A and B are shown apart, each in its own frame.
Chain A
Amino acid sequence: MSQDPATQDPGTPAVSSSADDAVQIPEAAGTVTSPSADRIKNPWREHGHDGRVPYITPDLIGRTVEIGTQPFDRRSTMLLREFQQNSEIKHDLYPRFLNSGRVFSVLIDGYKVTCTEILGYGRFGLVFKASIADSSLQVAMKFMFKENRKVRGNSAEFKKARKLPQKLFDSGRIIYYLALCDMAPYINSQAELIIMELAENGDLFDSIVVSSQGTQRPLVYTANHARRLTIMVIEAMATLREHGYLHRDLKAENLLFNKFGQMVLGDIGNIKDLEGGTTFREVGTKSRTCMFFCDVLTRRLTLCVWCPTLRR
């Protein structure tokens, strides 16, 4: 049985979990049978243009949000409370339907999408498990709150999803985006919606830290299982590299498993294309760079003024 991470000695070999504790490793490791586009019947596909992710303009978004009476389940309520505690969003800007903690529906381009469960939260918003009415399609809908961002305009993930070619999503290695909605009008809040493929088997991080009987119990993979999963990660990254992109935010939380047991990459907000063939990217603060050079320049000028030998 695995130990608590706070007490586990990293120097000792990891103890493998028993067979009962083992998370089901997808058998289809490394084999992508069919692209995501064939697996998912996208109701918004007809609005797409240039073979990219369909973009639904704000005027097509329904202005009504229905608040249901059925509350979220216990896990969702806990996640919501945790998100509210950590969120930088002010209370008056926080959407009322999230504070109510109830099931709600959003009318998007004639399709009623009902959010029933919170799958997770990030720095800028929440991800709900949702179902499309008159369809058996289950999707994940990400609400990105604009009030929580310092940069105006769309989020990085939203912009990247609009620019990325459809063939990248069709590769089956990156989470399939069904539609993008620029703005969801709600009382005091504005959120952009990213509707994407639902990863039914959760993410890799959840498979490591398994919630059991109210306690967080870590699960150590055996060497073979860890190797197989790592190979899946490498293959997913290789596919992304073949299409000319690098992920740049690779972590266990962003590695998801779909219902076929295939690993897909999520959170493409930091993805980078390899235009020009360079893999290098700037990092750091521009303003500090400018201040640094200004400081050097000022010192140099000062020396030139006071030191005649440097004027030459």
Chain B
Amino acid sequence: MTVLGSENTMAPEVTGYYENKMPQGLYDCEKSDIWSIACIHFQLRTCLGVLDSHVLKTSINDFNEATGS
């Protein structure tokens, strides 16, 4: 299993491979880094890790996909 990054700052497209043991695929490293930056900003303002299952009850399904419009 190729584990990349840390669980709390892992992008959703990577989390699927990490948690669901999906077969090999491709993901955009640049976009996942941007997700991690947002996670750090969230952590700075709340002291909480995004999608930290020990503290928060939110899941990835609670996020709305940004359309850019």
What separation, in Å, do the CA atoms of A208 and B23 have in the docked complex? 36
A220 close to B45 (CB less than 8 A): yes
A233 close to B40 (CB less than 8 A): yes
A282 close to B26 (CB less than 8 A): yes
Q: Which residues of A contact B2 (CB under 8 A)?
A: 282-285
What separation, in Å, do the CA atoms of A14 and B42 have in the docked complex? 10
| Chain B window 3-46, contacts with chain A (Cβ cutoff 8 Å), 1 for yes, 0 for no | 01110110000100100011111111111110011011101111
Shortest CB distance B62–A (Å): 11
A286 close to B24 (CB less than 8 A): yes
What separation, in Å, do the CA atoms of A272 and B31 have in the docked complex? 13
A250 close to B37 (CB less than 8 A): yes
B26 close to A281 (CB less than 8 A): yes
What separation, in Å, do the CA atoms of A307 and B32 have in the docked complex? 46
What separation, in Å, do the CA atoms of A289 and B9 have in the docked complex? 25
Shortest CB distance B31–A (Å): 8
B40 close to A8 (CB less than 8 A): no
Which A-chain residue is minimally distant from B18 (CB atoms)?
A283
A163 at the interface (CB under 8 A from B): no
Which A-chain residue is minimally distant from B30 (CB atoms)?
A279
B41 close to A226 (CB less than 8 A): yes
B60 at the interface (CB under 8 A from A): no
A270 touches which of B5, B41, B43, B46 (Cβ 8 Å): B5
A283 close to B14 (CB less than 8 A): yes
B47 close to A250 (CB less than 8 A): no
B30 touches which of A2, A14, A233, A246 (Cβ 8 Å): A246
Q: Chain B: how many interface residues by the 8 Å CB criterion? A: 36
What separation, in Å, do the CA atoms of A234 and B43 have in the docked complex? 15
What separation, in Å, do the CA atoms of A148 and B22 have in the docked complex? 26
Q: Which residues of A contact B58 (CB under 8 A)?
A: 10
B47 close to A220 (CB less than 8 A): yes
Q: Chain A: how many interface residues by the 8 Å CB criterion? A: 44
What separation, in Å, do the CA atoms of A163 and B31 have in the docked complex? 24
A6 close to B24 (CB less than 8 A): no
User: Given contacts A248-B29, A250-B37, A289-B24, is CB(A5)–CB(B6) below 8 Å?
Assistant: no
What separation, in Å, do the CA atoms of A208 and B33 have in the docked complex? 21
Shortest CB distance A26–B (Å): 14
A229 at the interface (CB under 8 A from B): yes
B66 at the interface (CB under 8 A from A): no
What separation, in Å, do the CA atoms of A285 and B22 have in the docked complex? 8
What separation, in Å, do the CA atoms of A285 and B3 have in the docked complex? 9
Which A-chain residue is minimally distant from B34 (CB atoms)?
A237
What separation, in Å, do the CA atoms of A247 and B37 have in the docked complex? 11
Which B-chain residue is minimally distant from A241 (CB atoms)?
B30
A281 close to B29 (CB less than 8 A): yes
Which A-chain residue is minimally distant from B58 (CB atoms)?
A10
B33 close to A237 (CB less than 8 A): yes
User: Given contacts A281-B27, A282-B24, A283-B27, is CB(A221)–CB(B44) below 8 Å?
Assistant: yes
Most buried by B among A237, A253, A279, A292: A279
Shortest CB distance A140–B (Å): 20
B24 close to A288 (CB less than 8 A): yes
User: Given contacts A226-B41, A251-B36, A255-B40, is CB(A209)–CB(B28) below 8 Å?
Assistant: no
Which B-chain residue is minimally distant from A4 (CB atoms)?
B47
Extra contacts, 13 of them, besides A10-B58, A233-B40, A283-B25 (Cβ < 8 A), are A5-B48, A204-B44, A220-B47, A226-B41, A230-B40, A237-B37, A246-B33, A249-B4, A279-B30, A280-B29, A281-B4, A282-B25, A288-B24
